[in-house]
Amino acid sequence: MWVSTRVRALGLVLVVSAGFALAEEPGGQKPLRQQAAKDKELRPCVPDCPTGARFRSFDPAHPPPAGAQTFRLSQDYPEFYNPTERFPWETIDYAAEPEKYLRAVLAYCLEGNKDVDFRGQDNPKRKWYHAPWMHDDSDKNKAGAGREYHHGLTRERRSRPFELHTLQTSTSQNWAVGMVNDRGGYTLGQVWDTSEEYPDPTRATFPDHTVSFKLLFTAAPVTEVPYLNGSLEWTANTYKDAASYAPPRVDRTVRLLQLDVAVKDSRVAARSGWIFGTFVYDGGAPGASVWDRLAFVGLSWGDDDEVCDDFKKKGAFTNPKLKETRLNADLIEKPGHEYGAKAYLRHFGLGGRLNGPVDNPVSSCISCHGRAATYAKPLPLSDESGLPMETGLLTTTDPTGYPIAEFGRFFRTLRPNSHLERDADKLFVTTDYSLQIPAGIRNFYQHLRTQKPVIERLEKRGAAKLKADALPGLKPLPHLERDGTKRD
């Protein structure tokens, strides 16, 4: 069949660098990117942006009231960046002084942004950029996770009762928005601003000192999570009920809970290539501003792939065997302790690896992000164009039942940069630890394959063989969310 033949052909070229491997196929066939160009007529509705901008800012299925001030996607992706720029964290030993390193990164992320309410394009110090195609996950049967119109927040993993605090009795939804610096924006432009208008994941190779950060907000009330006291409050257009996510969306107050960062650092190029780190907001900390009250949770640059110790252990603990993770042991929950508005953590990631309070205890920053990848076939409209690679065994949150076989599959530090990876008998192009790229690519193809004019053109071209007529009826592609590729 067409799809599987193509995949088999790609299987033959499983070599070092995906950029080049994908450019030429064996047997003198045309490079795949040129074939995508040939299909130009298949894109009459991509993008379908009403404002003239290339990418939409928020989900049109959940429109703002007339006259509302709305979120604008920062999408003027730069074509150049200054390769000689120096950064304050370059000289800090991330392993010996992890908190100092991460606070230097945090200061850079906040500079200018906190004064313009995180509108990256309005930052007078340096511009920051958003990833496209996170506005709409094109899943008409279920409530979407796409960007809301106030601040461009997307839906994150929800927090189960008692994950955040012993007083947390309800499930709470979490929403987040991330931005990248100019080096990250340059790479987003490389991937998305192609002449063919199809995203090209093989160009997802981020330069050193790309910085990405994400503000995560929770709808959990302060009565259930007292350390949210005095946190940054935003209005967000979210769902009424975190259990069902049933529309319509409604405005509510959400509070900053967690702040994630990721920095491409050449010193760890032999491992993940990235330093991931996170902070939790601490309402009991003495700092004068919200930003001063962020507590350092930890950082990590690899998954210590060989260390299986303690991977079935529950709760928050440090694992002395881990060499590639640094955690703040002061935040570990002391059962029975009276915390008041002070923050503490009830879990990290699997086996004491780094994860944040909103994350699943059986994953880690590195394991989930290392598997950032999209199906390695850039031609449009196969059953599997846009399919993301599975990011983990996230149907459970309980490490006691975690199977060792899955540990080997998911806790394997992958090389950074773009290359081919085989998983579950399929080939994927990895996107250098960025999960916003395959999430956007998934949404792009999901949207494309539901567009009637596209389907009609395919049919006219005798594309029945491509199963084009069946595409709109296909099950939607799995979502790429912080809860994994499968919805729970």
Residue 133 or residue 198: which is nearer to ligand HEC going by CB? Answer: 133
Cβ 241 to ligand HEC shortest distance, Å: 20
Q: Cα(100)–Cα(90) distance, rounded to whole angstroms? A: 11
Q: Cα(120)–Cα(356) distance, rounded to whole angstroms? A: 24
User: Residue for token digits 């795949």?
Assistant: 32
Q: Which of 164, 170, 158 is nearest to 238 (CA)?
A: 158
Residue 38 or residue 100: which is nearer to ligand HEC going by CB? Answer: 100
Query: Scanning residues 302 to 341, which ones bind ligand HEC (CB under 6 A)?
Result: none
> Does residue 154 bind ligand HEC (CB under 6 A)?
yes
Residue 418 or residue 451: which is nearer to ligand HEC going by CB? Answer: 418
Cβ 437 to ligand HEC shortest distance, Å: 6
Residue 23 gets which letter from DSSP? H
Cβ 133 to ligand HEC shortest distance, Å: 11
Return left, alpha or beta for 342; rule: phi > 0 is left, psi -120 to 50 is alpha, else beta: beta
Residue 438 Cα distances to 15, 274, 409, 420, angstroms: 21, 18, 19, 14
Per-residue x/- mask for ligand HEC, residues 202 to 241, rule CB under 6 A? ----------xxx---------------------------
Contact 371, 392 (CB under 8 A): yes
> Does residue 359 bind ligand HEC (CB under 6 A)?
yes
Q: Cα(209)–Cα(192) distance, rounded to whole angstroms? A: 20
> Does residue 200 bind ligand HEC (CB under 6 A)?
no
Cβ 129 to ligand HEC shortest distance, Å: 11
Residue 382 or residue 434: which is nearer to ligand HEC going by CB? Answer: 434
DSSP 373-431: EEES--SS-STTTTPBPP---TT---GGG--HHHHHHHS----SSS-EEEETTEEEEE-
Residue 134 or residue 458: which is nearer to ligand HEC going by CB? Answer: 134
> Does residue 434 bind ligand HEC (CB under 6 A)?
yes
Q: Cα(329)–Cα(316) distance, rounded to whole angstroms? A: 9
User: Contact region for ligand HEC (CB under 6 A) — 56-64, 326-334, 431-439, 470-478?
Assistant: 431-439
Cβ 223 to ligand HEC shortest distance, Å: 26
> Does residue 360 bind ligand HEC (CB under 6 A)?
yes
Question: If DSSP codes are grouped into helix, strand and coil, which group holds residue 90?
Answer: helix
The encoded tokens of residue 212 equal 């990405």
Contact 174, 358 (CB under 8 A): yes
Query: Scanning residues 73 to 132, which ones bind ligand HEC (CB under 6 A)?
Result: none
> Does residue 280 bind ligand HEC (CB under 6 A)?
no
Whether omega for the bond prior to residue 403 falls within 30 degrees of 0, making it cis, is no
For residue 249, the surrounding DSSP H or E stretch is strand 249-264
> Does residue 354 bind ligand HEC (CB under 6 A)?
yes
Q: Which of 156, 154, 165, 106 is nearest to 131 (CA)?
A: 154
Residue 211 or residue 448: which is nearer to ligand HEC going by CB? Answer: 211
Cβ 185 to ligand HEC shortest distance, Å: 12
Sign, CA torsion 302/307/311/315: negative
Q: What burial letters (b/e) apply to 100-113, b meaning 16+ CB within 10 Å?
A: ebbbbbbebbbebb
User: Contact region for ligand HEC (CB under 6 A) — 98-106, 113-121, 364-372, 374-382?
Assistant: 364-372
Per-residue x/- mask for ligand HEC, residues 458 to 487, rule CB under 6 A? ----------------------xxx-x---
> Does residue 436 bind ligand HEC (CB under 6 A)?
yes
Indicate which single residue of 101, 118, 276, 407 sits in contact with ligand HEC (rule: CB under 6 A). Answer: 276
Residue 231 or residue 300: which is nearer to ligand HEC going by CB? Answer: 300
Residue 295 or residue 379: which is nearer to ligand HEC going by CB? Answer: 295
Q: How many residues bind ligand HEC (CB under 6 A)?
A: 33
Residue 109 or residue 455: which is nearer to ligand HEC going by CB? Answer: 109
**Could you list the residues that contact ligand HEC (CB under 6 A)?**
154, 176, 178, 212-214, 260-262, 276-278, 354-356, 359-360, 363-365, 368-369, 391-392, 394, 434-436, 439, 480-482, 484
